Structure 1
Amino acid sequence: MDKLTDLPGRNLLQAIFDTFNSGIHVYTAIRDEHDQIVDFELVMMSKKSAAFKDRADAVGKRLLRDFPEFIGQLENFKQVVETGIPKSYEVHQNFGGANMWFLVSDSKFGDGFINVWEDITEHKQAEEKIKELNRTLQINNRELASLNSELKTFNQIAATDYTDTLKKLYTNLEFIISNDARKMSDEGKANVRRAQSAIQKMKLLTEDIVAYSSIQTKDTDLQQVNLVVMLQSIQEDMTRVWPGIEFKMDCQDEMPLIWGYPFLLTVLFNHLIDNAIKFRKDSSNPLIHIGCAETDTPALEHPAAIPGTRYNHFTIEDEGIGFDSNYAEDIFKIFYRLHPKGAYKGSGIGLAICRKIMDIHGGFITAESGEGRGAKFHCFFPVEKI
């Protein structure tokens, strides 16, 4: 420790220590007549000391004699000096009601050691915040697991018992009409038919709810999907679904492959094309334009767009009745209807399914329109694999 007793060298070392944000303390060993370490003298410390924050006169004092709170650490200090093996540990302090944490490191220095206190309060606070968030996440996950279990149970009941009950009700009413028609008034028959119609609507709604809630379990085959080929198949299906309706799909000749689930993607584009035909203008032959272009997030303002991500931007545009642009977000809500019940067939769940499918694929869907100006749907699929 000769350098510490040399005034010019000591001043230089002190100036260097004071440039650090960490608290630095230099101790030299005090030995007895048997050359055993019995104490340590604090010979230097930086201005930002945490161990002796309110003790400016600590330099020159003995650690254990003058600061008995360190007695429990004597053996650890001795081991560092005698073995040369450094030690690190955390210390929690309370300064004026403020909780602070430090990472303390002890390293051999001559016949003594250097003790460094690094402020890790922000790190510890961040750790505690992460732990709290993890605890909250675990609670939410348990609640979500419970809800999923309840939903699965509901799906099982709705898909079997509930649906079967509706079928039986409809069949029983049909039996009553077939066998007791002569005994029933016209009004009675009409009431029965209305009841059957309500049962059919309930059955359709139940099937749609089951389809929506179980959509993630419908397909596990993740692969590259050729949309051009898929659209050709959908066009053939639509011809059977809408007999007598002359519609045309104007598709871009070449489009990028989509990395996703074939069944779900078929459901997605099937819904969008079906809507384009369903909401056509009177006495018109629907024309549906489908295209694609690549874009990146700087060109997107949607909150679901991930910064730095490139997207394949697919568009499905029709020339139908359109809708008020104020409802461009509402139409993706489950059971939301723009039109009065009965005006168009459906339960108002199709576009909600489309949004859910886009979520599953790591993308998002938007819509733009105007009354009488047709509708245009935008599907953004990330270029990278999901």
Structure 2
Amino acid sequence: MKFSGLLRFSILLKLALGLSIIVVGYLTTKFYFQIRELSTSVKSIENSNAVRYELEQIASAINKNESALRSFIITRDSLYLRNQDLDNDAFDLRISRLHRLSLTNPEFKSGLDSLKWFVNKRHLVFDNTLKTLSEKDYNDNYLKNNLLKSFIYTDNLQEYINKLINTQQYKIGKQEQFHSKKIEESSWNAGILGILSLTVFLLAYLKMNRDIAEQLKNTKKLKIQNRKLIEINAELESFNSIVSHDMQEPLRKIQMFISRLDENETRHLSDQGKDYFSRIRVSANRMQNLMVDLVSYSRAAKGDRSFVEIDMNLLLKAVVEELAVDIEDKKAVIEWAELPVMHAVPFQMQQLFLNLLSNSLKYAKDNIAPQIKISNEIISGDTFKDGKSINPEKFNKIVVSDNGIGFRQEYAENIFVLFRRLDTESNYTGTGIGLAICKKIVENHNGFIRAFGSENHGAAFHIYLPK
């Protein structure tokens, strides 16, 4: 129940953390777009304020020009017109600024075209009035008519400018309302985001703290298990020592006494006694073979990791020399092609080929000389390991094949299992450990081994080892 409760709490904690992260992500995205909208709103307000300022300056300049014109008409003092050229340049400059501002203010663009028309008409009437006044014999009615047009255009221009200013003022008011609303929303979002961020932080802290407590707990367990493994390894080492020395010593004495009895006493035994005696000798030999194989398997499983560069040709030559007596007895023929130099553990590689060649010699057909071949082959592209295609550039492939009794292909995996012997092997001696040792050695070298066989047509072992 306690474990179930902890598991439920862990799942709820993960769900809460995941949901909080999703909400924080959503609010962060929303907050980002709100900030962008606020930035756009600020720029729009700045633009409208700039447009309003320029319009107000134009309106002020027009009033100033109108006053200067009236004062000149009354006093005929040209000092009132001394800044006329500067004022015209100022008009052009402000119109140019308004044109730039209208690029980001589409609503004002059409109004700017009308404003230009009013300003140009106002300038034209103003210039005609000054030109008329500069003549000595000017027509009073014509002058009055021009002055009237000037006043009318000035009033119309002022009215239109005020209309544009009011439009911009209205736009500024709307933008300020929108701005205030977005600031309020952003403030709420920022607050919620902050609270949720703290929540995520708290949940993450709880999860991390719980995981750390779990990591420490597991670490303690691992330390205890490691101590137990060390003790077990020590016991296995002691077992290996017993098997390889203490247990073999009395077995050797048994075999020695069996040999002496065989030489001096078996002739006094009945046929049944001789049969029993023969079985005792076979069992003693089998026990010795089993002990030797167990020690070999234990060493392979432990995995001596002293990797060195090995010339496989020299190693195979040493293996053949070690099996020379059996090879001669069976009249076996062993052929091998040039093998590569490999980075491997010498003792284990020697044990690998010793077991494979011994197997081929042991399971040879009666009255047929064993033909054993060792070759270095190219890996085909359709070779797979654990469902994945292997890279031919990264592996060596060595094949050991023979013409012995073979086996059924459905047994290809079983023959590598510890103590597993096939039905076809009932007439042959063996412990069922040799091929298990081969598999363990190949795995120690990060490789793999495959078996292919056909009953009464021989067997082949494909060994894949990293280059």
Q: Does 1:164 align with 2:164?
A: no
Q: Does 1:101 align with 2:204?
A: yes
Q: How many positions carry a matched residue from both structures?
A: 288
Report which of the two has the higher share of helix: 2
Return the match for 1:301 from 352, 363, 384: 384
**Cα contact 2:326–2:361 (8 A) shared by 1:** no
Determine the C-alpha separation between the residues in 1 that align with 2:30 and 2:302: 68
**Cα contact 1:294–1:310 (8 A) shared by 2:** no
Q: Deviations over 1:251-302 (max 9, x none)?
A: 233x332110122111111221222233233333332332224559x74432
Q: Does 1:257 align with 2:341?
A: yes
Measured on the aligned residues, the alpha-carbon RMSD in Å equals: 3.9
Q: Could you tell me which residue of structure 2 aligns to residue 267 of structure 1?
A: 351
Q: Could you tell me which residue of structure 2 aligns to residue 378 of structure 1?
A: 462
> TM-score with structure 1 length normalisation?
0.62
Structure 2: segments with no counterpart, 5+ residues: 1-27, 36-186
> TM-score with structure 2 length normalisation?
0.52
Q: Does 1:153 align with 2:238?
A: yes
Q: Deviations over 1:329-358 (max 9, x none)?
A: 110112211146662232221111111111
Return the match for 1:359 from 436, 443, 446: 443
Determine the C-alpha separation between the residues in 2 that align with 1:129 and 1:18: 42
Determine the C-alpha separation between the residues in 1 that align with 2:403 and 2:318: 22
Q: Could you tell me which residue of structure 2 aligns to residue 15 of structure 1?
A: 31
What amino acid is aligned across from residue 204 of structure 2 in structure 1? Answer: W
Structure with more contact order per residue of length (Cα contacts < 8 Å, sep ≥ 6): 2
Describe the SS at the equivalent of 1:348. Answer: coil
Q: Could you tell me which residue of structure 1 aligns to residue 285 of structure 2?
A: 200
Determine the C-alpha separation between the residues in 2 that align with 1:168 and 1:160: 12
Q: Could you tell me which residue of structure 2 aligns to residue 45 of structure 1?
A: 191
Determine the C-alpha separation between the residues in 2 that align with 1:132 and 1:249: 57
What amino acid is aligned across from residue 346 of structure 2 in structure 1? Answer: P
Determine the C-alpha separation between the residues in 1 that align with 2:285 and 2:360: 24
Determine the C-alpha separation between the residues in 1 that align with 2:332 and 2:377: 24
Deviation at 1:220, TM superposition (A): 6.0
Determine the C-alpha separation between the residues in 2 that align with 1:91 and 1:149: 48
Describe the SS at the equivalent of 1:144. Answer: helix
How much identity, in percent, do the aligned residues show?
Answer: 28
Q: Which has the larger radius of gyration?
A: 2
Q: Does 1:349 align with 2:365?
A: no
Report which of the two has the higher share of strand: 1
Q: Does 1:311 align with 2:395?
A: yes
Describe the SS at the equivalent of 1:242. Answer: helix
Determine the C-alpha separation between the residues in 2 that align with 1:178 and 1:274: 29
**Cα contact 1:17–1:45 (8 A) shared by 2:** no
The correspondence of residues 185-334 of structure 1 with structure 2, limited to 5 A, is 185-215=270-300, 221-253=306-338, 255-293=339-377, 295=379, 299-303=382-386, 310-334=394-418
Structure 1: segments with no counterpart, 5+ residues: 1-11, 20-40, 54-89, 93-99, 103-119
